[in-house]
Amino acid sequence: MMRAMVLACALAVSAHAQSRIDLSALDFLLGDWDAIELPAGESGAFNFSLAVQDRIIVRTNYAKYPARDGKPATRHDDLMVIFVEGHAVKADYFDSEQHVIRYLMQPRGPRDVVFVSEAKAGEPRYRLSYVLAANGHLKGTFEMASSEAPDDFKPLFAWTARKLK
């Protein structure tokens, strides 16, 4: 009887391990990316890399904006940590402007992913999308929805990046 219980436990653990979500659907994001087709004077780059024994993906990003219209030059930096929690892929975003956004990943297909923040009363909602185009360029979009219309996302900005060799 004891042997049957051990075997049943081993099968249950194996089935759980096989049904566990991993981050392999995001492999297309891994690597160093350089922003292209930017307005004059702007630059940016980001990196997606595996960390913590390949259990999380860390994205670091920066964007530089030149002085214009009487405003000084600026730099934006951010960090996003993508991880599995339970049966979901989530991401936590932090930036140099003290924003914190908590996302839930929604895969849309191979080489196409969207991160959507939870709808909360009185707070805007965000959507961050990545699509790998046939030419190898990574297209990104960042959108926002007001708290009054949490599913009506409006684009804030979009970018294109090429993978560095």
Count helices and strands (H / E) in the chain.
Answer: 1, 10
Question: Could you give the percent of the chain with pLDDT greater than 90?
Answer: 83
Sort residue 135 into left (φ over 0), alpha (ψ -120 to 50) or beta: alpha
Q: Which of 160, 163, 142, 164 is nearest to 36 (CA)?
A: 160
105-160 per-position pLDDT tens digit: 998 888 999 999 999 999 999 999 999 999 999 999 999 999 999 999 999 999 99
Quick one: pLDDT at residue 20?
A: 59
Pair 79, 97: CB distance under 8 Å: no
Quick one: pLDDT at residue 4?
A: 45
Rounded-to-integer distance, Cα 89 and Cα 43, Å: 30
How far is C-alpha 28 from the geometric centre of its chain's CA atoms? 12
Rounded-to-integer distance, Cα 58 and Cα 72, Å: 30
Residue 37 has pLDDT above 90, yes or no: yes
Residue 14 has pLDDT above 70, yes or no: no
Please tell me which residue, 17 or 106, carries the higher pLDDT value: 106
Quick one: pLDDT at residue 133?
A: 97
Residue 19 has pLDDT above 50, yes or no: no
Please tell me which residue, 130 or 19, carries the higher pLDDT value: 130
Other beta carbons less than 10 A from residue 66's beta carbon: 13
65-86 per-position pLDDT tens digit: 999 999 999 999 999 999 999 9
pTM, two decimals, is: 0.85
Residue 47 has pLDDT above 70, yes or no: yes
Instruction: Work out the mean pLDDT of the chain and round it to a whole number.
Output: 89
Quick one: pLDDT at residue 107?
A: 81
Domains of the chain and CATH, by start: 22-163 (2.40.128.20)
